[in-house]
Structure 1
Amino acid sequence: MTQITFELPELDRKRTQAAVEAALEKYRIFKSTLIEEREAQTIASWSDAPKGFTGTTSDQTSNIAIYNVDEPAARKAYCERIERAVSKLPRRERLLITERYLNTDCDFDYVVFNHVFDPPIGETTYYRLKWKAFYKIALNLNIQVVKEVKGSRNIEGNKKS
């Protein structure tokens, strides 16, 4: 029998962290803002150009209805996806991400590692735990940035035309 092995990818730490933080910030914004529903213009405007002069047609009411339905649904789906990814984390990593990134009232890492964890954890342990959580979230959300191997050649670039 042959044994199947699975290698975890080596990620570009800075770029992956930036991608995860951007995703979590987007979540935070979606959770803390309301969508202003669009309304149809009820006052007719006068124009001496014939209708359809631009060669395009649009139905303002249907475009507005589509936006008013699709935008909240897309936001809800995005937030649920982030929440599912975070819920799969181990307890301490989930606590760290929830308190630092998902709640709207905590903006600093030192607050989390000094006041949220009971007993408080050290700064080094905190950042190690944070990276593990980011790694898992990045893989779950498929936003990881894989580290490029130095010295690797592009096969396509070596072909002669």
Structure 2
Amino acid sequence: MQLSFLPKINRRATQRRVEEALKTARIYRQIGFVCREIEMTPAYEARYHGATNKTSDQVAEFATWNVDEEERVRRLTVRVERAVKRLPKRQRQIIEKRYLEDEDVFDYIVCTELGMSESTYGRQKAKAVY
């Protein structure tokens, strides 16, 4: 009997996080980073509130967020691409066709394109994701 010291993983949470990372990488590869922009909406009514003694610079906050978030997404995309390249050929094909090439591709379509049975496809996809 072999002892395992690895904790059991929550398969649903793991799949959700992996698919979220793959979706982010696909969007970044296809259209690049989408920056936040400042919305200037005039208010025609006076806003009465007490002094908060806090200064805010909305332009600086958005600029900082854009730079930091773009770098985070770029790093995530690089990590995802490296991880996918390390997979065996069939698993790499499944992940690339299902998650990284086009939007809204269903499993049965990828399964048919790759000429795999549904059970083989399911096993290979599970190995790639987990």
Structure-1-length-normalised TM-score? 0.61
Q: Give runs of aligned pairs for residues 74-113 of structure 1, distance below 5 A.
A: 74-105=72-103, 107-113=105-111
Whichever residue aligns with residue 58 of structure 2, its letter is Q
CA spacing shift, 1:65–1:17, aligned 2, 3 Å: closer
Whichever residue aligns with residue 96 of structure 1, its letter is I
Listed one character per residue, the Cα deviations across residues 3-30 of structure 1 (whole Å, up to 9, x for unaligned) are xx87555433333223322322333344
Structure 1: stretches of 5+ with no match in the other structure: 136-161
Work out whether residues 100 and 109 of structure 1, in 8 Å CA contact, stay in contact via their aligned partners in 2: yes
Work out whether residues 24 and 73 of structure 2, in 8 Å CA contact, stay in contact via their aligned partners in 1: no
Name the structure 2 match of 1:35. 34
Name the structure 2 match of 1:122. 117
Q: Secondary structure at the match of 2:99?
A: helix
Q: Secondary structure at the match of 1:89?
A: coil
Name the structure 2 match of 1:134. 129
Listed one character per residue, the Cα deviations across residues 101-152 of structure 1 (whole Å, up to 9, x for unaligned) are 111245111111111x2xx1111000000000011xxxxxxxxxxxxxxxxx
**Count of aligned pairs between the two proteins:** 125
Q: Give runs of aligned pairs for residues 12-27 of structure 1, distance below 5 A.
A: 12-27=10-25
| Partners of 1:40 and 1:105 in 2: CA distance | 29
TM-align CA RMSD = 3.3
Q: Secondary structure at the match of 2:74?
A: helix
Whichever residue aligns with residue 36 of structure 1, its letter is C
Work out whether residues 87 and 94 of structure 1, in 8 Å CA contact, stay in contact via their aligned partners in 2: yes
Structure 2: stretches of 5+ with no match in the other structure: none
For CA contacts below 8 A with separation 6 or more, give which structure has more relative contact order. Answer: 1
| Partners of 2:121 and 2:15 in 1: CA distance | 15
Structure-2-length-normalised TM-score? 0.72
CA spacing shift, 1:74–1:114, aligned 2, 3 Å: same
Rg larger for = 1
Name the structure 2 match of 1:72. 70
Work out whether residues 28 and 77 of structure 2, in 8 Å CA contact, stay in contact via their aligned partners in 1: yes
| Partners of 2:47 and 2:121 in 1: CA distance | 67
CA spacing shift, 1:15–1:60, aligned 2, 3 Å: closer
